[in-house]
Structure 1
């Protein structure tokens, strides 16, 4: 297992609700927990993955995600068992859409 942590600053969108989880590790190999929390405007992403050595790919996927959504005061926890980057992007977008409400 490998744990990766990323933090992004200067987001300008907040979540409409407190928390949600999408996906499960046994279906699509990925689950995402997203929660609203005071991070001084930052967005933190923690990834626990069984696929060791793919930090650069994870960084690219979550940087692209942050560029799309520009979240602030959000923590995202990802449990991965080998999902492809496309599945990761899909699950991240689903997680945000589930908690954005009418503000998306």
Structure 2
């Protein structure tokens, strides 16, 4: 199985909510995914890297992550997602779970 890597950057919305620690949530398994959040100090943008076996859904991935960043106001962050055919609803759930872990 070949994997596709999707990388993009999302600008924050000005609220500048940042994380003080790393977080890991989920496990790469059938229909699931792993999310890693890591604060970065270099700039305020949110760097995103997604590794997935599903090709052709770059625009959907971008919309889901952009919505998450806009909703939370996060900035200065790296998001790594290792996917194994998760639905957009699971992606949103794992992102929120990782954020709760990072803030808790």
* Structure 1 length-normalised TM: 0.88
- Structure 2 residue matching 1:89: 3-state secondary structure: helix
Q: Which residue of 2 aligns with 1:67?
A: 70
Deviation at 1:10, TM superposition (A): 3.1
Runs of 4+ in 1 over 6 A off after TM superposition: none
Check if 1:24 corresponds to 2:50: no
1:5 is displaced (CA, Å) by 1.1
Q: RMSD across aligned C-alpha pairs, in angstroms? A: 1.4
> Structure 2 unaligned runs (5+)?
none
Q: Secondary structure at the match of 1:93?
A: helix
Matches within 5 A, 1:4-19: 4-11=6-13, 12-15=16-19, 17-19=20-22
Query: Do residues 47 (structure 1) and 57 (structure 2) align?
Result: no
Matched length: 100
Larger displacement relative to structure 2 (22-31 or 74-83): 22-31
1:26-71 deviation per Cα after TM superposition (whole angstroms, max 9, x unaligned): 2652000111112311111110001111111101111111111121
CA distance in structure 1 between the aligned counterparts of 2:42 and 2:9, rounded to whole angstroms:
10
TM, length-normalised to structure 2: 0.88
- 2:83 is the counterpart of 1:90: no
CA contact (8 A) 1:44 1:76 kept: yes
Unpaired runs of 5+ residues, structure 1, are: none
For 1:31 and 1:57, locate their aligned partners in 2 and report how far apart those are by CA, in whole Å.
18
